[in-house]
Amino acid sequence: MRTQVAIIGGGPSGLLLAQLLQRRGIDSIVLERKTKDYVLARIRAGVLEQGLVGLLEEAGCADRLHAEGFSHDGTLIAYGDEMFRIDFKEHTGTPVIVYGQTEVTRDLYEAREKAGGPIAFNVEDVVIHGADTDTPHVTYTVDGTTQRVDCDFIAGCDGFHGISRKTIPADLRREYEKVYPFGWLGILSETPPVSHELIYSNTPRGFALASMRNENLCRYYIQCSVDDSIEDWSDDAFWDEFKKRLPADMAAKLVTGPSIEKSIAPLRSFVTEPMRWGRLFLCGDAAHIVPPTGAKGLNTAASDVHYLYNGLREFYETGSADGIDAYSANALSRVWKAERFSWWFSSLMHRYPDQSDFDQRMQIAELEFLRSNKAAQKAMAENYVGLPY
């Protein structure tokens, strides 16, 4: 078959790009390695910046988000039994929206199906050909049959473990990486949230985060060892540890219950440069990873989609390649700022195995500075709600 844009990966980046292009009459096909149910069962991000909300509106996929999402005007930061609030509304005039990545993805799939846009699931052996020529194509197999898609452009939206990034010759790309010496154990439980606003908690026992999805669905995390597996953590063990990492007044009102999902995620910072090779463009986790502290992963994927969508739109509407030529530089400029914020917030909130007493006092001093200094709060709030595109 022939299409204008071949999109590899049916996660949020690929689906959002497909839907935005579709609304402008630009054809695409989405190639996804897994099944739709598998993609929708992945519990990941929960906090959306206004930029992503705006893109979902433009894609015609924001009705349920507006009806069911929660607007958060601030967040709570705890250290020991101390707690203070960063007021996003006061410092930026903008809230963030709590609405799960699972729901975003579900809405995007629904819109894609309604629009009749092609998606191929269970694809294997995806190979990109001729990305550095004007006539690229992609091959893949489904049910043992090889298919070929000829296209103008390829969007590599296939996540950190995808094939798109590795298609760029090693001598033409540069990778930057930091692996953190801990992971996050997350659970989902059908219990009322301990706090309406999120609590990021730095304690001598390690980091904890109280997040939520709705009035009866909590998403809670604790810092754990990279060597832990979910079998090491019964629900009781999780609740016991989580409680110890909340300020006493919050711990006293925590409602516990059975987990309905439990997973461990490693923490990594990663950026590959450039994000374009010929007619191949990398988007989202295919090009960069942030540690989850500060919820920038999905939001940074969305800003890539913004730059790529507008570049492709300009190309098809005016014939100008200026937008696509500027894609890598524009996307990376914002990516590095999100990397900095996620690294800073992770460094501030976690216990590190080799952390000295001095290092710990530096964390507390920085938290106390943030608590008392309006300029520091404003900088934190601006980054948390999302820097402009």
Q: Which residue is nearest to ligand DHB (CB)?
A: 46
The yes or no reply on residue 12 touching ligand FAD (CB under 6 A) is yes
Q: What share of the chain is helix, strand, coil (3-state, %, to 5)?
A: 40, 30, 30
> Which segment (45-53, 135-143, 225-233, 234-242) binds ligand DHB by CB under 6 A?
45-53
Q: What is the CA radius of gyration of the chain?
A: 21
Contact indicator for 295, 312 with CB cutoff of 8 Å: no
| Among 79, 288, 292, 307, the one annotated catalytic | 292
> What order do you get walking across the sheet with 47-48 strand by strand?
47-48, 96-98, 70-72
Q: Give min distance, CB of 39 to ligand FAD, in A.
A: 5
**Nearest distance, CB of residue 268 and ligand DHB, angstroms:** 13
**Minimum CB distance to ligand FAD smaller for 163 or for 364:** 163
Cα-Cα-Cα-Cα torsion 7, 8, 9, 15, nearest 10 degrees, comes to: 0
By CB under 6 A, the residues from 296 to 335 that bind ligand DHB are none
Q: Using the rule CB under 6 A, give the single segment among 24-32, 247-255, 292-300, 373-381 that binds ligand DHB.
A: 292-300
Q: Are 315 and 279 in contact (CB under 8 A)?
A: no
Q: In what order do the strands lie in the sheet with 124-129?
A: 124-129, 137-142, 145-150
Q: Which does 198 bind (CB under 5 to 8 A by kind): ligand FAD, ligand DHB, none?
A: ligand DHB
Give the one entry of ligand DHB, ligand FAD, none that residue 293 binds, where binding means its C-beta sits below a cut-off of 5 to 8 angstroms depending on kind.
ligand DHB
Residue 72 known to be catalytic:
yes
Q: Could you say which of 51, 136, 159, 183 contacts ligand FAD (CB under 6 A)?
A: 159
* Residues 5, 6, 9, 11, CA torsion sign: positive
Please say which residue, 104 or 295, places its beta carbon nearer to ligand DHB: 295
User: Does 200 participate in catalysis according to the annotation?
Assistant: yes
Known catalytic membership, residue 169: no
- Asked about 309 being catalytic, the answer comes back as no
Cβ proximity to ligand FAD, 76 vs 98, nearer residue: 98
Enumerate residues 175-214 that contact ligand DHB by CB under 6 A.
198, 209, 211
**Can you list the alpha helix ranges (DSSP code H) found in the chain?**
12-23, 36-40, 50-58, 63-68, 88-92, 101-115, 164-167, 235-244, 248-252, 297-318, 322-349, 357-372, 374-385
Q: Are 218 and 186 in contact (CB under 8 A)?
A: no
Site for ligand FAD in 294-323 (CB under 6 A): 295-298, 301
Which of 3, 6, 10, 17 is close enough to bind ligand FAD by CB under 6 A? 10
Task: List the one residue out of 288, 278, 304, 277 whose CA is nearest residue 343.
Answer: 288
Task: Tell me the C-alpha to C-alpha distance, in Å, between residue 231 and each of 43, 185, 263, 330, 381.
Answer: 18, 11, 10, 43, 37
Q: Please select the residue that binds ligand FAD; options are 13, 92, 191, 330, rule is CB under 6 A.
A: 13
247 is annotated as an active-site residue: no
Is residue 104 part of the contact set for ligand DHB (CB under 6 A)? no
Q: What x-and-dash track marks residues 40-79 binding ligand FAD by CB under 6 A?
A: ----xx----------------------------------
CA 50 to CA 71: how far, in whole Å? 10
- Which residues here bind ligand DHB, judged by CB under 6 A? 45-47, 198, 209, 211, 219, 292-295
Q: Give the active site residues.
A: 72, 200, 292, 296, 384
